[in-house]
Amino acid sequence: MAFEALQEIVFACEQTKKAFWQVIMEDDMTEREVSRDGSMAQMKYTWDAMLQSASGYDRSLKSKSGLVGGDGAKMEDYYKEKGSESLCGEYVDRVIAGALQMGESNACMKRIVAAPTAGACGVLPAVLVPYYTTRGCGEGKILEALYTAAGIGQIIATRASISGAAGGCQAEIGSASAMAAGALVHLQGGNAQQIIQAAGMALKNLLGLVCDPVAGLVEVPCVKRNVIGAVNALSSADMAMAGITSRIPPDQVIDAMREIGERMDPAFRETAQGGLAGTAAGMEIAGRILSRFI
Amino acid sequence: MNIFDILGPIMVGPSSSHTAGAVKIGNISLKLLQEKPVRADIILHGSFATTGSGHGTDRALIAGLLGMQPDDMRIPDSFQLAKREGLEFTFTNKTLKNAHPNTAVLSLTGETGHTIEVQAASIGGGRVEIHKLDGVDAFFSAEKPTLIIYNLDRRGSVSDVASVLSLNHINIANMHLYRAKKGGFAVMVIEMDQEISQYAVQLLEGLDGIQKVVYLNME
Ligand code: SF4
Protein backbone atom coordinates (compact mmCIF):
# COMPACT_ATOMS: atom_id res chain seq x y z
CA MET A 1 0.00 0.00 0.00
CA ALA A 2 1.17 3.49 -0.84
CA PHE A 3 0.11 4.92 2.55
CA GLU A 4 1.51 4.50 6.01
CA ALA A 5 -0.90 6.74 7.91
CA LEU A 6 -4.61 7.47 7.92
CA GLN A 7 -3.76 11.15 7.75
CA GLU A 8 -1.83 10.52 4.51
CA ILE A 9 -4.98 9.09 2.96
CA VAL A 10 -6.93 12.15 4.07
CA PHE A 11 -4.30 14.41 2.45
CA ALA A 12 -4.57 12.40 -0.76
CA CYS A 13 -8.37 12.81 -0.66
CA GLU A 14 -8.06 16.57 -0.17
CA GLN A 15 -5.46 16.98 -2.89
CA THR A 16 -7.26 14.92 -5.51
CA LYS A 17 -10.80 15.87 -4.40
CA LYS A 18 -11.62 12.18 -4.19
CA ALA A 19 -13.48 10.19 -1.58
CA PHE A 20 -11.61 7.99 0.89
CA TRP A 21 -12.91 4.82 -0.74
CA GLN A 22 -11.82 5.97 -4.20
CA VAL A 23 -8.27 6.57 -3.06
CA ILE A 24 -8.20 3.06 -1.56
CA MET A 25 -9.71 1.48 -4.66
CA GLU A 26 -7.16 3.19 -6.91
CA ASP A 27 -4.39 2.04 -4.61
CA ASP A 28 -5.71 -1.51 -4.96
CA MET A 29 -5.75 -1.14 -8.77
CA THR A 30 -2.10 -0.12 -8.68
CA GLU A 31 -1.01 -2.65 -6.10
CA ARG A 32 -2.70 -5.71 -7.59
CA GLU A 33 -2.46 -4.43 -11.18
CA VAL A 34 -6.17 -4.81 -11.81
CA SER A 35 -8.73 -2.64 -13.60
CA ARG A 36 -11.43 -0.73 -11.79
CA ASP A 37 -13.89 -3.44 -12.78
CA GLY A 38 -11.52 -6.14 -11.59
CA SER A 39 -11.15 -4.51 -8.20
CA MET A 40 -14.90 -3.92 -7.87
CA ALA A 41 -15.70 -7.50 -8.89
CA GLN A 42 -13.48 -8.86 -6.12
CA MET A 43 -15.14 -6.53 -3.60
CA LYS A 44 -18.56 -7.63 -4.75
CA TYR A 45 -17.50 -11.27 -4.40
CA THR A 46 -16.42 -10.51 -0.83
CA TRP A 47 -19.69 -8.73 -0.02
CA ASP A 48 -21.72 -11.59 -1.52
CA ALA A 49 -19.79 -14.03 0.68
CA MET A 50 -20.64 -11.91 3.74
CA LEU A 51 -24.31 -11.83 2.81
CA GLN A 52 -24.31 -15.58 2.22
CA SER A 53 -22.77 -16.35 5.60
CA ALA A 54 -25.20 -13.95 7.27
CA SER A 55 -28.22 -15.62 5.70
CA GLY A 56 -26.73 -19.10 6.20
CA TYR A 57 -26.92 -18.84 9.99
CA ASP A 58 -28.20 -22.07 11.47
CA ARG A 59 -30.02 -21.44 14.76
CA SER A 60 -29.75 -25.09 15.77
CA LEU A 61 -25.94 -25.33 15.42
CA LYS A 62 -23.63 -25.72 18.41
CA SER A 63 -19.85 -25.58 18.25
CA LYS A 64 -17.98 -28.88 18.81
CA SER A 65 -17.11 -27.80 22.33
CA GLY A 66 -20.76 -27.02 23.02
CA LEU A 67 -19.77 -23.59 24.37
CA VAL A 68 -21.52 -21.43 21.77
CA GLY A 69 -24.53 -21.54 19.49
CA GLY A 70 -28.10 -20.33 19.60
CA ASP A 71 -27.54 -16.90 21.18
CA GLY A 72 -27.92 -15.14 17.84
CA ALA A 73 -31.29 -16.82 17.47
CA LYS A 74 -32.35 -15.69 20.95
CA MET A 75 -31.42 -12.10 20.13
CA GLU A 76 -33.32 -12.25 16.86
CA ASP A 77 -36.44 -13.55 18.58
CA TYR A 78 -36.07 -10.81 21.19
CA TYR A 79 -36.00 -7.89 18.78
CA LYS A 80 -38.82 -9.34 16.76
CA GLU A 81 -40.92 -9.54 19.89
CA LYS A 82 -39.90 -6.27 21.58
CA GLY A 83 -39.46 -3.99 18.57
CA SER A 84 -38.79 -0.45 19.79
CA GLU A 85 -39.45 -1.37 23.44
CA SER A 86 -35.94 -2.75 24.04
CA LEU A 87 -33.21 -0.52 25.44
CA CYS A 88 -31.20 -0.26 22.25
CA GLY A 89 -34.11 -0.24 19.83
CA GLU A 90 -34.70 -2.59 16.94
CA TYR A 91 -31.91 -1.35 14.68
CA VAL A 92 -29.13 -1.78 17.24
CA ASP A 93 -30.67 -5.08 18.34
CA ARG A 94 -30.40 -6.31 14.75
CA VAL A 95 -26.72 -5.33 14.79
CA ILE A 96 -26.23 -7.26 18.05
CA ALA A 97 -27.99 -10.34 16.65
CA GLY A 98 -25.95 -10.20 13.45
CA ALA A 99 -22.67 -10.02 15.36
CA LEU A 100 -23.61 -13.01 17.54
CA GLN A 101 -24.78 -15.05 14.58
CA MET A 102 -21.66 -14.53 12.51
CA GLY A 103 -19.40 -15.25 15.49
CA GLU A 104 -21.30 -18.47 16.13
CA SER A 105 -21.12 -19.55 12.49
CA ASN A 106 -17.36 -19.09 12.60
CA ALA A 107 -17.02 -21.16 15.78
CA CYS A 108 -19.06 -23.89 14.10
CA MET A 109 -16.54 -24.14 11.22
CA LYS A 110 -18.84 -22.52 8.68
CA ARG A 111 -17.49 -20.44 5.81
CA ILE A 112 -17.03 -16.76 6.75
CA VAL A 113 -15.12 -13.67 5.60
CA ALA A 114 -12.26 -12.80 7.97
CA ALA A 115 -12.48 -9.04 8.54
CA PRO A 116 -9.74 -8.54 9.46
CA THR A 117 -9.60 -11.94 11.19
CA ALA A 118 -12.00 -14.82 11.66
CA GLY A 119 -12.44 -14.11 15.37
CA ALA A 120 -13.66 -10.62 14.49
CA CYS A 121 -15.63 -11.68 11.39
CA GLY A 122 -18.97 -10.58 12.83
CA VAL A 123 -18.27 -6.87 13.32
CA LEU A 124 -18.43 -5.53 9.76
CA PRO A 125 -21.37 -7.60 8.50
CA ALA A 126 -23.23 -6.87 11.75
CA VAL A 127 -23.29 -3.16 10.97
CA LEU A 128 -23.44 -3.40 7.16
CA VAL A 129 -26.12 -6.04 6.58
CA PRO A 130 -28.91 -4.32 8.57
CA TYR A 131 -27.93 -0.99 7.00
CA TYR A 132 -28.26 -2.58 3.58
CA THR A 133 -31.52 -4.41 4.25
CA THR A 134 -33.40 -1.83 6.33
CA ARG A 135 -32.12 1.55 5.12
CA GLY A 136 -32.61 1.12 1.40
CA CYS A 137 -29.00 1.78 0.56
CA GLY A 138 -27.73 0.34 -2.73
CA GLU A 139 -25.04 -2.28 -3.13
CA GLY A 140 -22.66 0.26 -4.70
CA LYS A 141 -22.66 2.31 -1.52
CA ILE A 142 -21.90 -0.79 0.57
CA LEU A 143 -18.94 -1.66 -1.67
CA GLU A 144 -17.62 1.87 -1.13
CA ALA A 145 -17.98 1.37 2.62
CA LEU A 146 -16.02 -1.88 2.35
CA TYR A 147 -13.15 -0.09 0.58
CA THR A 148 -13.21 2.48 3.36
CA ALA A 149 -13.01 -0.26 5.99
CA ALA A 150 -10.23 -2.07 4.14
CA GLY A 151 -8.11 1.09 3.90
CA ILE A 152 -8.36 1.63 7.65
CA GLY A 153 -7.48 -2.02 8.27
CA GLN A 154 -4.44 -1.80 6.02
CA ILE A 155 -3.03 1.14 7.94
CA ILE A 156 -3.58 -0.62 11.25
CA ALA A 157 -1.90 -3.77 9.91
CA THR A 158 1.05 -1.71 8.68
CA ARG A 159 1.56 0.42 11.79
CA ALA A 160 0.55 -2.15 14.38
CA SER A 161 -0.98 -5.61 13.99
CA ILE A 162 -4.26 -7.37 13.34
CA SER A 163 -3.38 -10.57 15.15
CA GLY A 164 -4.54 -11.51 18.64
CA ALA A 165 -1.40 -13.57 19.15
CA ALA A 166 0.75 -10.53 18.47
CA GLY A 167 -1.34 -7.67 19.86
CA GLY A 168 -4.24 -9.00 21.91
CA CYS A 169 -7.94 -8.64 21.13
CA GLN A 170 -7.58 -4.88 20.62
CA ALA A 171 -5.82 -5.86 17.38
CA GLU A 172 -8.72 -8.03 16.21
CA ILE A 173 -12.01 -6.69 17.59
CA GLY A 174 -10.50 -3.21 18.01
CA SER A 175 -9.31 -3.11 14.39
CA ALA A 176 -12.61 -4.51 13.10
CA SER A 177 -14.48 -1.89 15.11
CA ALA A 178 -12.33 0.94 13.71
CA MET A 179 -12.90 -0.38 10.19
CA ALA A 180 -16.66 -0.64 10.74
CA ALA A 181 -16.84 2.85 12.26
CA GLY A 182 -15.15 4.35 9.20
CA ALA A 183 -17.44 2.38 6.88
CA LEU A 184 -20.52 3.68 8.70
CA VAL A 185 -19.37 7.29 8.51
CA HIS A 186 -19.03 6.88 4.76
CA LEU A 187 -22.55 5.45 4.54
CA GLN A 188 -23.85 8.39 6.56
CA GLY A 189 -22.22 10.88 4.21
CA GLY A 190 -19.24 11.88 6.35
CA ASN A 191 -15.95 13.12 4.87
CA ALA A 192 -12.48 11.57 4.97
CA GLN A 193 -11.48 13.38 8.16
CA GLN A 194 -14.66 12.20 9.89
CA ILE A 195 -13.96 8.66 8.71
CA ILE A 196 -10.56 8.55 10.37
CA GLN A 197 -11.82 10.28 13.50
CA ALA A 198 -14.50 7.60 13.88
CA ALA A 199 -11.87 4.90 13.36
CA GLY A 200 -9.58 6.52 15.90
CA MET A 201 -12.31 6.82 18.52
CA ALA A 202 -13.49 3.26 17.98
CA LEU A 203 -9.97 1.87 18.37
CA LYS A 204 -9.24 4.08 21.36
CA ASN A 205 -12.24 2.69 23.21
CA LEU A 206 -10.95 -0.85 22.88
CA LEU A 207 -7.25 -0.25 23.61
CA GLY A 208 -5.83 -2.75 26.03
CA LEU A 209 -8.38 -5.43 25.29
CA VAL A 210 -6.65 -8.75 25.88
CA CYS A 211 -7.01 -11.96 23.94
CA ASP A 212 -8.09 -14.57 26.44
CA PRO A 213 -10.12 -17.24 24.70
CA VAL A 214 -11.35 -19.98 27.02
CA ALA A 215 -9.72 -23.31 26.15
CA GLY A 216 -7.99 -21.51 23.31
CA LEU A 217 -11.12 -21.69 21.19
CA VAL A 218 -12.46 -18.76 19.19
CA GLU A 219 -15.73 -18.97 21.12
CA VAL A 220 -15.70 -17.41 24.60
CA PRO A 221 -15.43 -14.38 24.77
CA CYS A 222 -14.95 -13.93 21.01
CA VAL A 223 -18.55 -14.32 19.87
CA LYS A 224 -19.84 -11.62 22.24
CA ARG A 225 -16.81 -9.38 21.66
CA ASN A 226 -18.07 -9.03 18.12
CA VAL A 227 -21.09 -7.31 19.66
CA ILE A 228 -19.03 -4.68 21.46
CA GLY A 229 -16.99 -4.16 18.31
CA ALA A 230 -20.13 -3.51 16.28
CA VAL A 231 -21.98 -1.36 18.81
CA ASN A 232 -18.83 0.64 19.53
CA ALA A 233 -18.55 1.26 15.78
CA LEU A 234 -22.09 2.67 15.72
CA SER A 235 -21.48 5.04 18.61
CA SER A 236 -18.07 6.13 17.29
CA ALA A 237 -19.56 6.81 13.85
CA ASP A 238 -22.38 8.84 15.35
CA MET A 239 -19.88 10.82 17.43
CA ALA A 240 -17.82 11.58 14.32
CA MET A 241 -20.95 12.61 12.42
CA ALA A 242 -21.78 14.96 15.31
CA GLY A 243 -18.42 16.64 14.77
CA ILE A 244 -16.65 15.06 17.73
CA THR A 245 -12.98 14.25 17.21
CA SER A 246 -10.36 12.13 18.92
CA ARG A 247 -8.03 14.32 20.98
CA ILE A 248 -5.23 11.91 20.15
CA PRO A 249 -4.73 11.79 16.36
CA PRO A 250 -5.98 8.45 14.96
CA ASP A 251 -2.53 7.39 13.71
CA GLN A 252 -1.11 7.90 17.19
CA VAL A 253 -3.95 5.82 18.61
CA ILE A 254 -2.80 3.01 16.30
CA ASP A 255 0.79 3.49 17.48
CA ALA A 256 -0.41 3.27 21.08
CA MET A 257 -2.15 0.03 20.24
CA ARG A 258 1.11 -1.36 18.89
CA GLU A 259 2.98 -0.38 22.03
CA ILE A 260 0.33 -1.90 24.28
CA GLY A 261 0.38 -5.09 22.22
CA GLU A 262 4.14 -5.35 22.39
CA ARG A 263 4.17 -4.90 26.14
CA MET A 264 1.21 -7.20 26.74
CA ASP A 265 2.07 -10.32 28.70
CA PRO A 266 2.01 -13.45 26.50
CA ALA A 267 -0.64 -14.89 28.82
CA PHE A 268 -3.03 -12.35 27.28
CA ARG A 269 -2.12 -12.98 23.67
CA GLU A 270 -4.14 -15.95 22.50
CA THR A 271 -2.26 -18.51 24.59
CA ALA A 272 -5.36 -19.18 26.71
CA GLN A 273 -3.36 -18.89 29.92
CA GLY A 274 -4.70 -15.70 31.46
CA GLY A 275 -7.73 -13.45 31.70
CA LEU A 276 -11.07 -15.18 31.19
CA ALA A 277 -9.26 -18.34 30.05
CA GLY A 278 -7.39 -18.38 33.37
CA THR A 279 -10.48 -18.04 35.60
CA ALA A 280 -11.63 -21.03 37.64
CA ALA A 281 -14.60 -21.49 35.30
CA GLY A 282 -12.41 -21.04 32.22
CA MET A 283 -9.88 -23.62 33.39
CA GLU A 284 -12.61 -26.05 34.31
CA ILE A 285 -14.16 -25.77 30.83
CA ALA A 286 -10.73 -26.15 29.23
CA GLY A 287 -10.04 -29.30 31.22
CA ARG A 288 -13.35 -30.80 30.22
CA ILE A 289 -12.91 -29.98 26.53
CA LEU A 290 -9.31 -31.11 26.32
CA SER A 291 -10.10 -34.47 27.84
CA ARG A 292 -12.80 -34.89 25.19
CA PHE A 293 -10.47 -34.01 22.31
CA ILE A 294 -7.77 -36.44 23.36
CA MET B 1 -0.73 -6.63 2.46
CA ASN B 2 -3.49 -5.93 -0.03
CA ILE B 3 -7.10 -5.04 0.83
CA PHE B 4 -8.30 -8.59 0.34
CA ASP B 5 -5.88 -9.79 2.98
CA ILE B 6 -7.79 -7.41 5.27
CA LEU B 7 -11.29 -8.25 3.97
CA GLY B 8 -10.51 -11.91 3.67
CA PRO B 9 -9.66 -14.61 3.37
CA ILE B 10 -13.03 -16.21 2.75
CA MET B 11 -12.46 -19.26 4.88
CA VAL B 12 -13.76 -22.02 7.07
CA GLY B 13 -13.57 -20.94 10.72
CA PRO B 14 -12.72 -20.63 13.46
CA SER B 15 -9.33 -18.90 13.26
CA SER B 16 -7.59 -17.10 10.41
CA SER B 17 -4.17 -17.70 11.91
CA HIS B 18 -4.78 -21.15 13.38
CA THR B 19 -7.12 -22.62 10.75
CA ALA B 20 -6.81 -20.78 7.39
CA GLY B 21 -3.10 -20.03 7.85
CA ALA B 22 -2.46 -23.64 8.81
CA VAL B 23 -4.19 -24.87 5.64
CA LYS B 24 -1.90 -22.57 3.66
CA ILE B 25 1.21 -23.85 5.43
CA GLY B 26 0.16 -27.40 4.56
CA ASN B 27 -0.47 -26.35 1.00
CA ILE B 28 2.88 -24.63 0.50
CA SER B 29 4.66 -27.61 2.09
CA LEU B 30 2.88 -29.94 -0.34
CA LYS B 31 4.12 -27.85 -3.26
CA LEU B 32 7.65 -27.78 -1.82
CA LEU B 33 7.67 -31.57 -1.54
CA GLN B 34 6.59 -31.73 -5.19
CA GLU B 35 4.77 -35.02 -4.82
CA LYS B 36 2.01 -36.73 -2.91
CA PRO B 37 3.01 -37.08 0.76
CA VAL B 38 2.73 -40.46 2.45
CA ARG B 39 4.12 -39.46 5.82
CA ALA B 40 4.05 -36.23 7.84
CA ASP B 41 5.64 -35.73 11.24
CA ILE B 42 4.56 -32.35 12.50
CA ILE B 43 5.87 -30.29 15.41
CA LEU B 44 3.65 -27.57 16.87
CA HIS B 45 5.23 -24.69 18.77
CA GLY B 46 3.90 -21.87 20.96
CA SER B 47 0.26 -21.01 20.52
CA PHE B 48 -0.02 -23.68 17.82
CA ALA B 49 0.92 -26.19 20.51
CA THR B 50 -1.23 -24.85 23.35
CA THR B 51 -4.38 -24.00 21.40
CA GLY B 52 -3.91 -25.90 18.16
CA SER B 53 -6.20 -28.84 18.70
CA GLY B 54 -9.09 -26.60 19.74
CA HIS B 55 -8.69 -24.47 16.64
CA GLY B 56 -8.46 -27.43 14.32
CA THR B 57 -4.86 -26.43 13.44
CA ASP B 58 -3.93 -30.11 13.16
CA ARG B 59 -6.84 -30.89 10.85
CA ALA B 60 -6.09 -27.74 8.84
CA LEU B 61 -2.42 -28.64 8.29
CA ILE B 62 -3.40 -32.10 7.09
CA ALA B 63 -6.12 -30.59 4.87
CA GLY B 64 -3.48 -28.38 3.28
CA LEU B 65 -1.19 -31.38 2.72
CA LEU B 66 -4.10 -33.04 0.93
CA GLY B 67 -4.35 -30.02 -1.38
CA MET B 68 -7.44 -28.36 0.12
CA GLN B 69 -7.88 -24.59 0.11
CA PRO B 70 -8.82 -22.58 3.25
CA ASP B 71 -12.49 -22.32 2.22
CA ASP B 72 -12.92 -26.07 1.69
CA MET B 73 -15.83 -27.37 3.75
CA ARG B 74 -14.10 -30.77 4.17
CA ILE B 75 -11.36 -29.32 6.42
CA PRO B 76 -12.97 -30.61 9.64
CA ASP B 77 -12.87 -34.16 8.21
CA SER B 78 -9.28 -34.12 6.94
CA PHE B 79 -8.04 -36.86 9.29
CA GLN B 80 -10.46 -39.39 7.81
CA LEU B 81 -9.62 -38.20 4.29
CA ALA B 82 -5.89 -38.60 5.02
CA LYS B 83 -6.50 -42.21 5.98
CA ARG B 84 -8.26 -42.82 2.69
CA GLU B 85 -5.42 -41.11 0.78
CA GLY B 86 -2.74 -43.16 2.54
CA LEU B 87 -1.16 -40.27 4.43
CA GLU B 88 0.16 -41.21 7.86
CA PHE B 89 0.87 -38.43 10.32
CA THR B 90 1.97 -37.63 13.85
CA PHE B 91 1.81 -34.44 15.93
CA THR B 92 4.23 -33.44 18.69
CA ASN B 93 4.19 -30.32 20.85
CA LYS B 94 7.64 -28.83 21.34
CA THR B 95 9.14 -25.46 22.27
CA LEU B 96 11.52 -24.18 19.60
CA LYS B 97 14.19 -21.53 20.01
CA ASN B 98 13.46 -18.06 18.57
CA ALA B 99 10.37 -19.20 16.73
CA HIS B 100 7.23 -17.15 16.01
CA PRO B 101 4.37 -18.10 18.40
CA ASN B 102 2.33 -19.79 15.65
CA THR B 103 4.96 -22.10 14.22
CA ALA B 104 4.79 -25.58 12.74
CA VAL B 105 7.62 -27.76 11.48
CA LEU B 106 6.55 -30.34 8.91
CA SER B 107 8.84 -33.28 8.07
CA LEU B 108 7.40 -34.84 4.96
CA THR B 109 8.09 -37.94 2.92
CA GLY B 110 6.60 -38.27 -0.54
CA GLU B 111 5.46 -41.34 -2.43
CA THR B 112 8.78 -41.73 -4.29
CA GLY B 113 10.81 -41.13 -1.16
CA HIS B 114 11.57 -37.40 -1.49
CA THR B 115 11.76 -35.63 1.85
CA ILE B 116 11.61 -32.05 3.00
CA GLU B 117 11.46 -30.24 6.32
CA VAL B 118 9.54 -26.98 6.34
CA GLN B 119 9.37 -24.57 9.28
CA ALA B 120 6.58 -22.05 8.81
CA ALA B 121 4.65 -19.50 10.84
CA SER B 122 1.13 -18.14 10.59
CA ILE B 123 1.54 -14.42 11.13
CA GLY B 124 -2.11 -13.33 11.35
CA GLY B 125 -5.09 -12.78 9.09
CA GLY B 126 -4.37 -16.03 7.27
CA ARG B 127 -0.96 -14.91 6.02
CA VAL B 128 2.02 -17.17 6.44
CA GLU B 129 5.79 -17.11 6.19
CA ILE B 130 8.22 -19.91 5.56
CA HIS B 131 11.15 -19.55 7.96
CA LYS B 132 13.36 -22.58 7.33
CA LEU B 133 13.82 -25.26 4.71
CA ASP B 134 15.68 -28.41 5.70
CA GLY B 135 17.06 -26.57 8.70
CA VAL B 136 18.41 -23.63 6.68
CA ASP B 137 17.00 -20.13 7.27
CA ALA B 138 14.87 -19.14 4.28
CA PHE B 139 12.31 -16.36 4.56
CA PHE B 140 9.49 -16.04 2.06
CA SER B 141 5.71 -15.71 1.98
CA ALA B 142 4.91 -17.53 -1.29
CA GLU B 143 2.56 -14.64 -2.10
CA LYS B 144 4.48 -13.97 -5.30
CA PRO B 145 5.78 -16.59 -7.72
CA THR B 146 8.87 -17.87 -5.93
CA LEU B 147 11.86 -19.94 -6.96
CA ILE B 148 13.69 -21.97 -4.35
CA ILE B 149 17.01 -23.18 -5.61
CA TYR B 150 19.15 -25.60 -3.66
CA ASN B 151 22.71 -25.22 -4.85
CA LEU B 152 26.26 -26.14 -3.93
CA ASP B 153 27.64 -23.10 -2.17
CA ARG B 154 30.14 -22.05 -4.80
CA ARG B 155 31.05 -18.88 -6.65
CA GLY B 156 29.08 -18.01 -9.73
CA SER B 157 25.81 -19.75 -8.87
CA VAL B 158 23.97 -16.55 -8.11
CA SER B 159 25.08 -14.79 -11.28
CA ASP B 160 24.32 -17.87 -13.42
CA VAL B 161 20.77 -17.95 -12.05
CA ALA B 162 20.32 -14.20 -12.42
CA SER B 163 21.41 -14.29 -16.06
CA VAL B 164 18.98 -17.12 -16.93
CA LEU B 165 16.18 -15.06 -15.38
CA SER B 166 17.12 -11.85 -17.13
CA LEU B 167 17.42 -13.65 -20.50
CA ASN B 168 13.87 -14.84 -19.92
CA HIS B 169 12.74 -11.28 -19.09
CA ILE B 170 11.82 -12.14 -15.50
CA ASN B 171 11.76 -9.26 -13.04
CA ILE B 172 13.29 -10.22 -9.72
CA ALA B 173 11.42 -8.59 -6.84
CA ASN B 174 13.65 -10.05 -4.20
CA MET B 175 16.60 -12.40 -4.04
CA HIS B 176 18.31 -13.90 -1.01
CA LEU B 177 20.99 -16.49 -0.49
CA TYR B 178 20.86 -18.54 2.70
CA ARG B 179 23.86 -20.69 3.61
CA ALA B 180 23.64 -23.93 5.55
CA LYS B 181 25.84 -23.95 8.65
CA LYS B 182 27.48 -27.09 7.35
CA GLY B 183 27.31 -29.27 4.27
CA GLY B 184 28.43 -26.62 1.82
CA PHE B 185 25.04 -26.03 0.32
CA ALA B 186 22.89 -22.95 0.11
CA VAL B 187 19.31 -22.07 -0.64
CA MET B 188 18.51 -19.25 -3.01
CA VAL B 189 15.04 -17.74 -2.63
CA ILE B 190 13.88 -15.56 -5.51
CA GLU B 191 10.55 -13.76 -5.47
CA MET B 192 9.42 -12.60 -8.88
CA ASP B 193 6.95 -10.09 -10.24
CA GLN B 194 5.59 -12.50 -12.82
CA GLU B 195 5.22 -16.18 -13.51
CA ILE B 196 8.05 -18.17 -15.02
CA SER B 197 7.85 -20.82 -17.76
CA GLN B 198 8.54 -24.50 -17.27
CA TYR B 199 11.30 -24.06 -19.84
CA ALA B 200 13.11 -21.49 -17.71
CA VAL B 201 12.85 -23.79 -14.70
CA GLN B 202 14.48 -26.56 -16.75
CA LEU B 203 17.27 -24.21 -17.79
CA LEU B 204 17.91 -23.44 -14.13
CA GLU B 205 17.94 -27.12 -13.24
CA GLY B 206 20.58 -27.68 -15.91
CA LEU B 207 23.00 -25.13 -14.43
CA ASP B 208 26.23 -26.31 -12.85
CA GLY B 209 26.06 -26.87 -9.11
CA ILE B 210 22.26 -26.72 -8.90
CA GLN B 211 20.79 -29.60 -6.91
CA LYS B 212 17.11 -28.88 -6.97
CA VAL B 213 14.78 -26.17 -8.23
CA VAL B 214 11.32 -25.73 -6.76
CA TYR B 215 8.94 -23.32 -8.41
CA LEU B 216 6.10 -22.14 -6.20
CA ASN B 217 3.11 -20.39 -7.65
CA MET B 218 0.24 -20.45 -5.19
CA GLU B 219 -2.18 -18.47 -7.41
S1 SF4 C 1 -10.32 -12.98 22.32
FE2 SF4 C 1 -8.62 -13.47 20.97
S3 SF4 C 1 -9.36 -15.10 19.64
FE4 SF4 C 1 -11.15 -14.11 20.58
S5 SF4 C 1 -11.76 -12.53 19.09
FE6 SF4 C 1 -10.43 -11.57 20.59
S7 SF4 C 1 -8.39 -11.70 19.62
FE8 SF4 C 1 -9.69 -13.16 18.54
The pLDDT confidence band at residue B134, using thresholds 50, 70 and 90, is very high
The B residues from 184 to 203 touching A (CB cutoff 8 Å) are none
The pLDDT confidence band at residue A203, using thresholds 50, 70 and 90, is very high
Report, as an integer, the average pLDDT of B197-202: 93
Hey, how many other C-beta atoms are within 10 angstroms of the C-beta on A189? 8
Hey, where are the domains in chain A?
6-291
In which element (H, E) is residue A104 found?
helix A89-107
Report, as an integer, the average pLDDT of B102-124: 95
* Contact predicate A53/A126, CB 8 Å: no
Report, as an integer, the average pLDDT of A164-170: 92
Is the per-residue pLDDT at A190 higher than 90?
A: yes
Report, as an integer, the average pLDDT of B147-172: 90
The pLDDT confidence band at residue A294, using thresholds 50, 70 and 90, is very low
pLDDT for A226: 98
* Highest-confidence segment of A9-18, B72-81, B153-162: A9-18
The reply to whether ipTM tops 0.90 is yes
Q: Where in chain B is the domain with CATH 3.30.70.260?
A: 146-216
pLDDT in tens, A87-144: 999 999 999 999 999 999 999 888 999 999 999 999 999 999 999 999 989 999 999 9
Choosing among B2, B12, B15, which should be mutated to test the A contact, i.e. which has the most A CBs within 10 A?
A: B15
Topology of the domain comprising B146-216? Alpha-Beta Plaits (3.30.70)
Q: Where in chain B is the domain with CATH 3.30.1330.90?
A: 9-134
Least Cα separation, residue B80 to chain A (angstroms)? 15
The class (CATH top level) of B9-134 is alpha beta
Q: Is any atom of ligand 1 closer than 6 Å to the C-beta of A40?
A: no
Q: Whose CA is nearest to atom 1 of ligand 1?
A: A211
Is the per-residue pLDDT at B139 higher than 80?
A: yes
Least Cα separation, residue B182 to chain A (angstroms)? 33
B125: left (phi over 0), alpha (psi -120 to 50) or beta: left
Nearest by CB to residue B4, choosing from A46, A158, A162, is: A46
Report, as an integer, the average pLDDT of A213-228: 95
Assign B191 to helix, strand or coil.
Answer: strand
Least Cα separation, residue A104 to chain B (angstroms)? 9
pLDDT for B218: 83
Taking the model in full, what pTM does it have? Answer: 0.84
In whole angstroms, what is the distance from residue B37 CA to residue B82 CA? 10
In whole angstroms, what is the distance from residue A149 CA to residue B58 CA? 32
Which chain B residues contact residue A213 at CB under 8 A? 51
pLDDT for A84: 87
User: Residue type at A77?
Assistant: D
Contact between chains at B7 and A46 (C-beta distance less than 8 A): yes
